[in-house]
Amino acid sequence: MIELVNVSKSYAGGVDVLVNITLNIGKEEFVFIVGPSGAGKTTLMRLLYREELPTSGKVVVDRVNVVELDSNQVPYLRRNIGVVFQDYKLLPKRTIFENVAFALRVTGAPRSAIRRKVMQALELVGMLRKANSFPDELSGGEKQRACIARAIVNNPPILLADEPTGNLDPATSWDIIQLLEKINKRNTTVVVATHNKEIVDALKKRVVVLENGRMVRDQQLGTYGV
């Protein structure tokens, strides 16, 4: 589903963010990308939905060569990838329903289908009764649920979550991770970048460890530390 071959990314001034990463993530896998802040987790995620391009190497997502993708095809790539952020990135002046519907509206989906799909997504994340609330009226955990609903409303085969629990307390973090696991079981490939040791250790999923832009470990049923 996701394939990185010898991917490196460096910025002007010679900062190497990612060095020679080769990584294969299969269909319907659940993978943690772990490592300290600045290890390159976020950059790795951004390469997948082409917010950034690698300096060298090959990135293939859902059989699409992302690096060589024509820029007017990028929107169609992104419709197959749901993205969840640490800071939620909800639009403050819209209700939760509108925020989630926004992701379908921009694809030109018909109105009736939008309503049905948004309701389904909100139900899945347990936010149906908050549909008409504004983001400011919600707790951190609820905002993250709304953000996840927006990411999956289009039924993308891939869900990327960049520090989804970064702003949440342990109990809420646990809820969110369980929600991501639930989505994974509905045939979605899930990649979670995190430095939350407790969660990684408890879930026993595949763990990819980054340090200073280098991949130092790739372990099935892994833990955060060695």
Partner 1 sequence: MLGNLEFFMVEAFRSFRRSALLTTVAVGTITVTLVVFGMFLLIILNLGNIVGTVSSMMDISVYVEKDLSLEEAGALQVELTKIPGVEKVEFVSRTEAWKKFKEDYGTQLDLDALINENPLPHTFAVKVHSPELLPEVAKRISQIQTIAEVRYSGTLVNQIKTLMDAVRIGGASLVVLIALATLFIVVNTIRLTVLARETDIYIMKLVGATNTFVKWPFIIEGIMIGVLGGVFSFLVLKFSYDAVISRVSTAMPFLPVVTDVRLLSVIYSATLLGGTALGMLGAYISVSKVLKAEI
Q: Binding to partner 1 by residue 110, rule CB under 8 A?
A: yes
Q: At what angle do helices 140-152 and 96-105 cross, to 10 degrees?
A: 20
Q: Binding to partner 1 by residue 170, rule CB under 8 A?
A: no
Give CA separation, 132 vs 94, 116, 129, 138, in Å: 9, 15, 8, 11
Q: Binding to partner 1 by residue 150, rule CB under 8 A?
A: yes
The answer to whether 103 touches 91, Cβ cutoff 8 Å, is: no
Q: Locate 85 and state its tokens.
A: 């952020």
Among 29, 57, 60, 102, binds partner 1 (CB under 8 A): 102
DSSP category for residue 11:
E
Which residue's CB is nearer to partner 1, number 14 or number 110? 110
Q: Binding to partner 1 by residue 216, rule CB under 8 A?
A: no
Sole residue written with tokens 């929600």: 179
Applying CB under 8 A, the span of 4-12, 74-82, 120-128, 213-221 interacting with partner 1 comes to 74-82
Total binding residues for partner 1 by CB under 8 A? 24
Q: Would you call 52 helix, strand, or coil by DSSP?
A: coil
Q: Binding to partner 1 by residue 106, rule CB under 8 A?
A: yes
Positions touching partner 1 (CB under 8 A) are 49-52, 72, 75-79, 83, 89, 91, 93, 102-103, 105-108, 110-111, 150, 154
